[in-house]
Amino acid sequence: MTWFAARIAPQKEAKAHDLLAAHGFESLFAHEVREVRRLRHKRYANIPVIRPLLPSYALIRHDGTPDWERRAAALEWPGGARVIYAWVGYANRPWPIPQPSIDALAAMSGQISRLPNPRILAAGSAARVTGGPFSGFKGRVEAIRDRRVMLLLGMFGAERAVEIPADQVEAA
């Protein structure tokens, strides 16, 4: 049995995997779970997000039946759009993918990529404002009191001291 790649609709890799499996095709959804920092309910949280390792591609295993590629290419989403746009190969004929490449993708699939440890804010360190009217400004931490950070921001040709809530500042 041989593996082939097909070009599919963007951001539909998981749905294509499910649809192909429902129609009797063996497929591989190579993905990673990445922790993304998002603002939720006025607090930052690391949220796991599933990202494909091969965006806009599906890996399909040949099952040995005649006309399998035509049957796979004829699959449609609800609404009539085709699932497979084109085969990866030559003259719209699928080209086989070596088994070691598939094994490597399968081994990488499902692993969790963690965010790097956040840098800690301290007096004298560089910081970036992430929210509020000064969003995008970079400056130097002067002091940290309670839940507020005193930053020296370069504005109007001079450094200005600005006090900003700690949840709107991150280490640069």
CATH of domain 3-113: 3.30.70.940
What is the DSSP track for 9-23?
Answer: -TT-HHHHHHHHHHT
Report pLDDT digits (tens) over 30-84.
888 877 777 777 777 778 888 888 899 999 987 667 788 788 888 888 888 888 8
pLDDT over 90 (residue 162): yes
Is this model's pTM higher than 0.85 or not? no
Tens digits of residue pLDDT in 111-151: 766 555 556 788 899 998 888 888 888 999 999 888 889 99
Pairwise CA distance, residues 146 & 11, whole Å:
43
Domain 126-171, CATH number (from 3.40.50.720, 2.30.30.30, 3.40.50.10490, 3.10.129.10) = 2.30.30.30
Listed by start position, the domains of the chain span 3-113, 126-171
Helix/strand/coil for 167: helix
Please choose, from the candidates 63, 135, 59, the residue with its C-alpha nearest in 3D space to the C-alpha of residue 101.
Answer: 59
**Whole-angstrom Cα distance, residue 22 to residue 15?**
10
